[in-house]
A and B are shown apart, each in its own frame.
Chain A
């Protein structure tokens, strides 16, 4: 199988050092980056599929040039090679542009992929639309919110258990297909030390917009959407403290939850 995984470098949530730039978009130089958490689940799923069925896992990111180091962490988990699309003209790119560029990069790959995996969303942008956008752009099926991925190589199809509001749906699609991946797929592995050493010599092909078909970014470097304001969420109201004895406290808490139809 040939599987492509979108692995976006995002500000390390543990560092808590994100800042906004003058355009109110994330200043990507302000914080150390890690592979987006949900993308690691997608990568883990891809690695397990290739371990079971053979093949290759390729990672793809659109990010600043220094993303190579972050991508290497994904290679250390076991991905075979990477593609980084980086171009100063893409700084601050909005969702439609990101989708156009990533889709063009996938279409430009010399060999087609069987599956294209993305995390359900990213911890910095929270757009959650990239997988769907790429599917539309490439005219491929989309299986969103994947919780289990079962390819049938002989039939050239994939069966996906997807999370739904009430439980699971099982859907089937011909390959190639695009999947957005949830954490229900299973915990990502820690890179082994041998994986880390091997990742140092694995290829990360760095491409600019000039390597992709023209017309992907607006010539004036503006984007279809503009951020007008950005503000942190309002602080939460102080919680209610229950101080009654155990039996009364339990009843009070149960009533509180029942009033809100939570139990």
Chain B
């Protein structure tokens, strides 16, 4: 008997609501008209695009994943992913600005008290403040049990010491959700961590390094040093020792955002390749009339559409509260990331030599695609999560 029929009923077909289509199309117009013309320069200059951040703020794009009570649009996870996808079609860095803002806010949304939410979320929804997610360290990537940053209670404050690395937008954020060891003697490694929101203007906080990256070059990836940073206990999200659980809950809702970025990158590359195939003439005709090129384009289109619909289904399942949320998030990110890598690589192939130079955007898209196989859990970690879920059901 197939495993899937036991307790994971096939989800229904996803059809976008009128509201989702309206919002997607509005972001698409912004992406086509305002983001696309900036994408090449953002990559070339590798400078944080403050104009794109303002654009997302002015047009309420940041507001998408926040509740109306906090000044947001109260839209669902799928709508957020539609927006990230549209932005990433042209510029993976700009898509990431939205994805990281949503990522950083999730710990507040899932574990914050109403007071904490009122205090921080409205200014994140408006885009006035940016937030980063501070989990990774030099020696703790896929394995968070290696985290060494510690937060020691001193009266009604935590004193934080340590270094975080590979923190997206860490140098431009006003807040960082820091995962730090508060309970070194906990009975399980997963109970050692707490999530603490740190305002980056506190003494002892410093940006000590920015990485030079292969892709998403406009998005600053920062090393953050915490040298005796004092933060009120009221900044802790959830209880002491819940940090790891909060991070895992966060990934269930943030990995689809990375999958959306990947689908957007793939779609963008596919559009460039298809358009090029109708223009570029060799052997006396457009290369799109050559069957070997047609086959590549067809495979790229089919793969992108498959990844997209898997992502949309995952969003609907997660939003509906499936107990299998981690698996859905991981398979969406796994398939979308690998699809983006393959489709962008093939897009470069369709463009031939022109694909390899920066006159066309596909080489940038290929470089940008790679990160979607790496961050918010490598593809290997996604496979681990999917396999564990599958085997747990099958035992």
Contact = CB atoms under 8 A, between A and B. Distances in A.
Interface residues on A, range: 10 to 19
A164 interface: no
Contact of A190 (B19, B23, B30, B63): B30
B23 A192 contact: no
* Pairs A-B, 9 closest by C-beta atoms: A193-B60, A194-B60, A192-B60, A192-B59, A196-B22, A196-B26, A193-B23, A193-B73, A193-B26
B73 A191 contact: no
Contacts of A196: 22-23, 26
Nearest to A191: B26
A197 B19 contact: yes
Contacts of A76: 26
Chain B binding surface SS class: helix
Contacts, number: 32
Interface in A189-204: 190-197, 200
A193 B63 contact: yes
A194 B74 CA distance: 10
Interface of B: 19, 22-23, 26-27, 29-30, 33-34, 58-61, 63-64, 73
Most chain A beta-carbon neighbours within 10 Å: one of B22, B61, B63, B73: B22
B275 to A, nearest CB: 15
Most chain B beta-carbon neighbours within 10 Å: one of A191, A195, A200: A191
Given A190-B30, A191-B26, A193-B73, 7 more contacts: A190-B29, A190-B59, A193-B63, A194-B60, A194-B73, A195-B60, A197-B73
A15 to B, nearest CB: 14
Contact of A194 (B19, B27, B63): B63
A247 B19 CA distance: 59
A193 B19 contact: no
B29 A193 contact: no
A192 B22 contact: no
Contacts of A195: 60
A196 B79 CA distance: 14
Interface string A189-226: 01111111100100000000000000000000000000
A195 B61 CA distance: 12
A191 B61 CA distance: 11
Contacts of A197: 19, 23, 73
Nearest to A72: B22
A200 B19 contact: yes
Contacts of B63: 193-194
B56 to A, nearest CB: 10
Contacts of B61: 193
